[in-house]
Amino acid sequence: MDEHKHTQHAHTDHTLEAPKTSDPHAGHDHSGHHMPPPEPKQTASNGHEQHEKHMAHGSTGHADHHEQMVADYRKRFWIVLLLTIPVTVLSPMIMMLFGYHFEFPGANFVVFGLSTVIFFYGGKPFLEGAWEEWKNRSLGMMMLISLAIVSAYIYSSFTAFFIEGSDFYFELATLILIMLLGHWIEMKSQMGASKALEELIKLMPKVAHRLDAAGNIEEVSIEALVPGERILVKPGEKIPLDGKIYEGLSTVDESMLTGESVPVEKNPGMQAIGGSINGSGVLKLTVEKVGNETYLAQVINMVQAAQQQKSKSQGLADKAAGWLFYIAVTAGLLTFLYWIFAANLAFALERMVTVLVIACPHALGLAVPLVNAVSTSIAARNGLLIRNRTQFEEARKVDRIVFDKTGTLTEGNFGVTDILPAAGVSEKELLTLAYSAESQSEHPIAKGIVRKGEAEGVTLLPVTDYQNLTGQGLQVTVDGMQVAVVSPGTMDERGIAYDKETFASLAQQGKTVVFVLKEGSLQGMIANADIIRSSSQEVVAALKEQGIEAIMLTGDNSRAAQYVGDQLGLDQVFAEVLPAEKSKHIAALKSGNKKVAMVGDGVNDAPALAEADLGIAIGAGTDVAIETADVILVDSNPKDVLTIITLSKATYRKMVENLIWAVGYNVIAIPLAAGVLANQGFLITPAIGAAVMSISTIICAVNARLLKIN
């Protein structure tokens, strides 16, 4: 993020921008990068009620629903299979095929009774689905299936009691059996994506340490907690619910939730996310969000929405099924009219039923949903939350990707970039003094110097007499020596000479420079900057290889922005851009039919995220990101942008493969079912059609499961 709050620290503030005043530490609060959980979209009368509602629906309801559907199809399949066995044994076609004869008085009535049970019990899901499609005036998959099984059942019933002809009981039974098997396979495949939700909910602890008014600790279930109550989190424990810290200092591991690999330092006033792991300190929190309001619940809801949302391609598949319904009815009627004159009623009816059976677009219905479910699951495992399937699929067409700077292309944390000792002083000596002095401060600049000292393994000297020099820097006693870390303005005020040319060069790069003094004598200068992510260079290079422009759009100062742009080799850099102006830049970049993606933090970049063809939010955690972004990166890593593009291309490729197979199968099979090759002695029976259709369905399911990005 580029617009930051200014907070006072124990010693004076640091700034990312080159110093303009005597203050080397001018307000740059990086704690804001660790965003708070999303604002609640729903409320409940109390925490217990809402949490239970969420646990029932958000955590396990989605999975339970799938499990119930899987169990239902499984049960119907096995029962229909048992009933199909005697129907198959008594089928004239099977008798002729295997050369045996088995008949007894009333056999026709037995087959009729078994087939009736199969039709109403096994066909119930399809008949109910067809009724829903009829009521919604959206004829499609279920209507076609129902049309086929109703036609087969009615025709067979007539042949059993009223007209002469071969019955279709065997075909009816096997068709329903195969359809049940296909839907069972479909639901089992979709269960794979639902498992991601189950893994997410496992992150939540079951109990919490509640504090009463007197400060006594009571262990309670998290369902018993309501907003406003106070809880205590011991070292190493998971934080039970989202809340605000009011006492204690610690580091918190949020990697499982936000992808932030480095533990986040927490202090009073900061947000804590439920499910994150507390470090070595004791934290006291005021509960703010429970149930569906929590950060984790928002993540779960986004995954659910992504799995259930129908994409543009899915809409095309449904539309194709609708057209196929009318094609099937038309082809069936034409087939009947032709063969009733060219042959006889029985043959005409048989051909018509065969056409209707062949036209059932089960594979067409599976082609896109299964790919979507698998790609959503893969995305979740790779730290991507797909909020808008249609826009995600369009990622494969992106021409330009616009990045925010701070916290996106950069780490959002200060680090040492240059150590420039004075004459007669070594780099190690300079770093040792700065490291020892800054070890007493909690400021981002100080932490950057401390990290550098720790990385270099320099000795931490004893420090006493810490003094905060307001607007100037700090002063301490290091191993008996007076040491100060001050700003260039302070150097000018004190009349201490320094290499202004070198300083100007560093400032031109947007770096913050501090000066280290020992007993009033200059020991050297240390330059600090928001460190460029190690992965950013790789991302920009990879985008260029794919012919995609990499652009930076930031509210930061032009010097710091241009330095990052030069280091990464960006195609364009727009700096000092206000939030309201960012969307105008995006609109301009979209000119010429260019597809533009915007990668930002979801707060000040919200207008740009909404304007872009594909909005990508860095760091899940704000209501703005949830409302405006199409894809949310759990890990604030620009490298994940490459994963989005790769997965989008792979997903689209699988969809096309499945749609071609499913539609191509129907295009070839319907004419054959109508009997275009009947004079050559080639006819497709409903049973053969159903078997081939099952193979087509399984191929689509297996092909979807083969979707990979590595």
Residues known to be catalytic: 404
d(CA 590, CA 400): 9
Question: Using CA atoms in the order 486, 489, 495, 497, what is the torsion angle rounded to 10 degrees?
Answer: 80
Can you read off the two tokens belonging to residue 543? 């985008």
Spatial CA neighbour of 687 closest among 176, 74, 186, 123 = 176
The widest CA-to-CA distance across the chain, in whole angstroms, is 118
**Cross-strand partners of 513:** 527
Spatial CA neighbour of 377 closest among 16, 709, 1, 19 = 709
Distances (CA, A) of 60 to 194, 200, 300, 402, 418: 10, 11, 10, 38, 53
- Looking at residue 475, the DSSP 8-state letter turns out to be E
**DSSP assignment string, 240-261:** -SEEEEEE--EEEE-HHHH---
Q: Which residues contact 329 (CB under 8 A, 6 or more apart)?
A: 147, 356
The length of the chain in residues reads 710
**312-342 vs 362-381: helix crossing angle, rounded to 10:** 160
Q: Which residues contact 336 (CB under 8 A, 6 or more apart)?
A: 348, 349, 351, 352
Spatial CA neighbour of 141 closest among 191, 186, 171 = 186
CA 186 from centre of chain: 22
Q: Which residues contact 600 (CB under 8 A, 6 or more apart)?
A: 403, 404, 408, 606, 608, 609, 615, 616, 617, 618
Determine whether 497 is exposed, middle or buried from the number of CB atoms within 10 Å of its CB (0-12, 13-18, 19+).
Answer: exposed
Helices assigned H by DSSP within 23-135: 47-54, 61-89, 92-98, 107-117, 124-135
Q: Which residues of 142-166 are buried (b: 16+ CB within 10 A; e: fewer)?
A: bbbbbbbbbbbbebbbebbeeeebb
Helices assigned H by DSSP within 546-578: 558-568
Can you read off the two tokens belonging to residue 191? 């269960």
Pairing status of strand 481-486 against strand 596-600 = unpaired
Rg (CA), the chain: 34
Going along 363-486, which residue ranges are E strands?
Answer: 384-386, 400-403, 410-421, 463-469, 473-478, 481-486
Q: Which amino acid is at 28?
A: H
